[in-house]
Structure 1
Amino acid sequence: MRKWLIAAFGVLILNIPVQTAAAEEEVPLEIEPVYPENQETGTKGYFSLAMDPGEEQTVNFRMTNNLDEEVTLSAEPANAYTHPKGGILYNPSVDSPNTRLLDDAVSMKEYLSLDETVTLEPGASEEVPVSVEAPDVEGQTALGAVVFTTEVSEQEADGSGGNEEANIVLNTETSYKLAVQVNLPNESTPDFSVGEAGFLTETGQVFIEMTNNAHLIQGDILGDYIVTDSEDEEVFSGELAEFNMAPKSNIRYQIPWNNESLDDGDYTLTLNGSAGDDNFSVEEDFTIAQDDIEEYAEVNTPEVNEPDGFSMPIWVWILAAALFGGLMLVLGKKLNRPQAKEE
């Protein structure tokens, strides 16, 4: 019996499929800037243009379709925001309490214009023009982007069991975001500040407000932090990875709760860091209420959907498991009992 099991296991192992790395696929769509004479020297991958306030200019993106089928993309201008976890993101609009543009920020999407759709024949390459207007502001940098998005396509994914009705239809799209930065002749003074701290019940993270109140990209923001409880005992600590902030933007920078327990109470976030050449050090108190913990648990606890009309009590599952375990124990003893030798 035991030899038969070993042989069967060996056959099973030999028939397990081995995955191999697929050959590199060609990029389906290539988009690259065609750099004009006023492109910032040494800057590649996006437009960084020296312009005067009110000046207008047309720049081009070269687009190449490497597929054997026609590709249609939607196109729209976008603003530059700061990501709540650091870095710059580009979207036509963002409706979130965790990232926003200040009231006097430049809405760069209003200064970029292009055709709403672009269609490329198989293997075709063409240049797509974008009109850029430099904002008339007393600032150093205006930042936005152009977003190209492939039209939603329906793809069938085979279901298990070979049942045609089990096939799944997937709607897929891909976005390409290319920055457009306008460098004005004015010079802005850095104006970075840190605000209040708090707790985000949606994600279970601590936040600290950060504001870049200047018409420039605030670079080189980094630091380290420690969260202590009301007894001044460390709860957790960590570092801010270096990041940039978009011009005239505000975020609630999110810090993961790096402790296995989450209790209600009063806490203090101490943050020491630097933004460019300026250092900063803050201590901000915040409170986590029991209601906050309950709301976080409610939002993040997955629901288990039972089939309609079917509900089995937990004691039935426990009893079934116990009976199955006992049965396997008896069978195991019988299989391992030595057989009598034949005379």
Structure 2
Amino acid sequence: MSKKAINQVKVLIGIFLLTMGLSGTKVFAADEQGKKSNVGVSAVIPDNQIDKEKTYFDLLMKPGQEQELEVNLSNSSDEDLTVEVTANSAFTNDNGVIDYSPVKLDPDPTLKYPFSTISETTKEVLVPAKSKAVAKIKINMPAESYTGVIAGGIHVTEKDKADKTEEGGGGVQIKNKFVYVVGVQLRTEESLEGLKGDLELDKKKIIPTQVNYRNYLGINLQNTQPVYIRDLEVDAKIYRGNSEEVLHQTKTQNMKMAPNSNFNFGVDWENKPFQGGNYKAVVTAKSIDYGEEWSWTEEFTIDADLAKKLNEKAVELDDDNTQLIIMIGIGLGVLLLIIIILIIVLNNRKQEKKRKARNARKKKSSSSKSGSSKSSSSRKSRK
């Protein structure tokens, strides 16, 4: 795939993510020229819809019930289109956004019934030119009553179609693709009263990582309850060892979490290199919609070898010369001390030599005077 094609797909996915959510509005993806997609997607709302005003699926079902959902697909273009349809469990991505993409992700350990395992879809649907088609999704509810929400999404996207570019040498490109998600909420009890999201932090999952080749510290937060958290604030402060000075801090608001899901809250390392050693994380989280607050203080270690590997991959890394400056300072201090000691020693030796020379001169002078005195006495005696 060419870089141009990759960028086109990224633009569309970005537009989709900005507009996606459990929203009842129709969403059309635009191409890079701003044109709307020729495909329309809408849910066929069944009788057991809890809120008929919603245009995503919000269904009250019985334990063990089987039900077939329908999604209308329309194609206003002049050529047939094949769309791919998948039923995916809701999860929370590392941006703190509820996501329904068809990614290979292990379900959270607290998720008892992933939507992807209780639903089946027709993988591909042909939508004729200037016509409509229906995608069908079969739901098999668990046999036991379930308190809370089973959350998922019906992910609709155009099947990849590779075309040769006409402007020579361009190779094979992928056409712009639309992406659309119809949200699904399933429950066997209409009332969710008394259920609140609850967060846990696993200190074993505080690990250095990278986002777009930039250093971040990942702090795993887990919503252990079968309900959404729709307005989450997290403030994380990182300290080095026993220092009281904040090394790095990241505070983020307006995040959301899917039921029974987890994500890695990223603390920006501000383009600084990771350094092996002991650290401390002080984290507070607030669920505005439930009025709940959590706090944790956890010690963790960054492995020096892992830090080195990540630093080698990092881009736009600011070299942290603090340790080098300290080492140079220590070295210069030691060198200065050695020079001072040498000066003192040499000066002492010089003074010692001078003292010895003076003593020698005094001794010689004294000897000369003594000899002269003896000679004078001898002359007097001969007389």
Task: Say whether the fold is shared (TM-score over 0.5).
Answer: yes
Structure number with higher strand proportion: 1
**Structure 2 residue runs without a partner (length 5+):** 1-31, 317-383
Which one is further off, 198-207 or 114-123? 198-207
Asked if 1:209 corresponds to 2:216, the answer is: no
- CA change 1:271–1:67 in 2 (3 A) is same
Match of 1:294 in 2: 308
| Structure 1 counterpart of 2:113 | 106
Contact 1:112–1:133 (8 Å) recurs in 2:
yes
**1:252 aligned counterpart, secondary structure:** strand
The equivalent position to 2:267 in structure 1, one of 244, 255, 273, is 255
- The Cα of 1:129 is off from its aligned counterpart by 2.8
Partner of 2:148: 140
Query: Whose radius of gyration is greater, 1 or 2?
Result: 2
Shift in Å, 1:126: 3.1
Measured in 2, the distance between the counterparts of 1:87 and 1:243 equals 6
Q: For 2:186 and 2:235, how far apart are their aligned partners in 1?
A: 33
Q: Choose the corresponding residue for 1:179, options 180, 183, 193.
A: 183
TM-score (norm 2): 0.64
More displaced stretch, 66-75 vs 40-49: 40-49
| Distance in structure 2 (CA, Å) of the matches to 1:24 and 1:138 | 44
Please list the CA deviations of residues 270-302 of structure 1 after superposition, one character each: whole Å capped at 9, or x if unmatched.
Answer: 112213321111112222233122110333469
From 79, 83, 89, the equivalent of 2:99 is 89
Q: Name the CA distance, whole Å, in 2 between partners of 1:281 and 1:209.
A: 13
1:47 — aligned with what? 57
Residues 241, 195 of structure 1: CA spacing in aligned structure 2 closer, same or farther, 3 A cutoff? same
For 1:122 and 1:35, the matched residues in 2 are separated by 25
| Higher deviation after alignment, 284-293 or 66-75 | 284-293
State the one-letter code of the partner of 1:233: E
Residue 58 (1) aligns with residue 68 (2): yes
Distance 2:94 2:274 in 1: 22
Q: Distance in 2 between matches of 1:286 and 1:103?
A: 24
Q: TM-score, normalising length from structure 1?
A: 0.70
Whole-angstrom CA distance in 2 between matches of 1:31 and 1:126: 10
Question: Over the residues paired in the alignment, what is the CA RMSD in angstroms?
Answer: 2.7
Is the Cα contact below 8 Å between 2:231 and 2:253 reproduced in 1? no
Normalized per residue, the structure richer in helix is: 2
1:104, distance to aligned residue in structure 2 (A): 4.8
Q: Which amino acid aligns with 1:199?
A: I
Q: Which amino acid aligns with 2:301?
A: T
In structure 2, C-alpha distance between the alignment counterparts of 1:113 and 1:79, rounded to whole Å = 12
Matched to 1:81, the amino acid is: F
- The answer to whether 1:219 aligns with 2:213 is no
Call closer, same or farther: CA 1:43–1:253 in 2, change over 3 Å: farther
Secondary structure of the residue that 2:100 maps to in structure 1?
Answer: strand
Q: Structure 1: which 5+ residue stretches go unaligned? A: 1-21, 303-343
